[in-house]
Amino acid sequence: MKFQRLLIAGALVAAGCATAGRGTEPDPDARLALGLAALERYDFAGAQEHFAWLREHHPDQPAGQQAQLLLVAIEIDPANAGRRLSTSADAASALRRSETLPPYMRWVSSTFSRLAHELVAIEEREAREREALGKPNEQLLSHAAEIRRLTQERHEAMVRVDTLDAKITLMAKDLKEKTTELERLRKIVKE
């Protein structure tokens, strides 16, 4: 009897261990939401990780198709310091040829493709102009680099403002407490 219970318990533990490693596949819509939340924080690498997973595992589902389009947009975005315009143009062109893509997404991917090719041409022209002027790249920032710099400065300024607001709130609270204590001491002195 005892041996049978041990045997059954061992079988149950073995079955549990065998299924524990599998885990459940994340919901595509939840994974898309995680990627979008990362974009809101300007975490392009985190967003790309979620969207690339969706592109690989759910290419024909709406969440996977949206992720593919968002991957193209990330590569065009001037706020993305690691953007690759030629990669974006190639990905948008490939996406545009997809038969399973809804027509509106095909149109958007075509627009992204043309935009990426135009931006590549602009950056190449700027590089030729810098070379013709004999100025190194550091001296003439491209428009995209200027936008990235300004975006970073804005973010840093917002963080400083938030820090100063917190300090002001603490100082106002401290001042109120000290004023209350001073009034209490004045009443004691008058008596």
For residue range 60-95, list pLDDT tens digits in order.
888 988 998 898 889 888 888 888 887 888 888 878
Q: Which spans in the chain are helix H?
A: 2-20, 28-40, 44-57, 62-76, 85-96, 103-133, 143-190
Q: Where are the domains of the chain?
A: 28-133, 141-191
Which segment of 8-12, 52-56, 67-71, 79-83 scores lowest on mean pLDDT?
8-12
d(CA 52, CA 67): 7
pLDDT over 90, % of the chain: 24
Note the pLDDT of residue 122: 86
Residue 101 in contact with residue 59, Cβ under 8 Å?
A: no
d(CA 64, CA 60): 6
- Chain-centre distance for alpha carbon 33: 11
CATH class of residue range 28-133: mainly alpha
